[in-house]
Amino acid sequence: MIEEAVRTPIVAWESFYVIVGSSGAALTGLQFVVMALVAESRRKSSAREIDAFGTPVIVHFCTVLLISAILSSPWQGLTYVSLAVGACGLAGIIYGIVVVRRAKTQDGYTPVWQDWLWHAVLPLIGYVVLFISALLLREHAQKALFFVGGVSLLLLFIGIHNSWDTVTYIATNQHNETPDKGEQSSDDNQQSSVVDAASKRRGDNQKHGRNKGRRH
């Protein structure tokens, strides 16, 4: 009876984490599509840029999936749940600091304040709240679980926003990039052909005019 009473708050969230966990797993595939678009774009991204702005999206989605798996497991009490969720929060805080450092050291893209907000500030806030909620889970289960659920949704929205931001960046900058050497060489050859054809036509016209003048 005691174990059942302890587990009851988590059972009430079962459907929520089925939905959130499934969404996290499905949206992980979205980031693979985004990375495929990055690979096919004219502007090539370095490994540092991907580590700073691409990989964290996968980490956020996988964290949501892991939290859902933890809270859907048949635990016998809240102690181990608290430890597991707390470990996720602590690992997220450390990783968030690493992401900030990577974003500062990469030189392929200059982040604006919106980038810092969505790639650094909000994820760090989410992981800090997750860690604190894990510490309070045993004594204040009802309230702590609401914060854990809120963090799960926040990480989902962060991942979706950052994936969409990457796609729109590629779409809006695709035509502004300088063409590569092969395309530029092809354009130069076409221009040269047009100039040669025009020069030849002009020369034929002048020659025809001289011949016509001689006949008269």
What pLDDT band is residue 211 in, cutting at 50, 70 and 90?
low
Lookup result for tokens 């909000």: 122
Name 156's Cβ contacts closer than 8 Å, sequence gap at least 6: 20, 23, 24, 27, 60, 61, 64
Query: Mean pLDDT in the chain?
Result: 81
Are 31 and 161 a contacting pair, CB within 8 Å? no
Range from 2-11, 102-111, 142-151 that averages highest in pLDDT: 142-151
Burial class (CB in 10 A: 0-12, 13-18, 19+), 50: middle
Residue-level pLDDT at 3: 46
In contact, 56 and 98? CB cutoff 8 Å: no
Over range 94-99, report the average pLDDT.
Answer: 96
Instruction: Output the DSSP codes for 60-126.
Output: HHHHHHHHHHHHHS--SSHHHHHHHHHHHHHHHHHHHHHHHHHHHH--S----HHHHIIIIIHHHHH
Residue 149 pLDDT exceeds 90? yes
2 pLDDT higher than 90: no
Q: Which of 50, 53, 40, 47 is nearest to 174 (CA)?
A: 40
CA 115 – CA 169 distance, rounded (Å): 12
User: What distance in Å separates the CA atoms of residue 208 and residue 42, rounded to the nearest whole number?
Assistant: 48
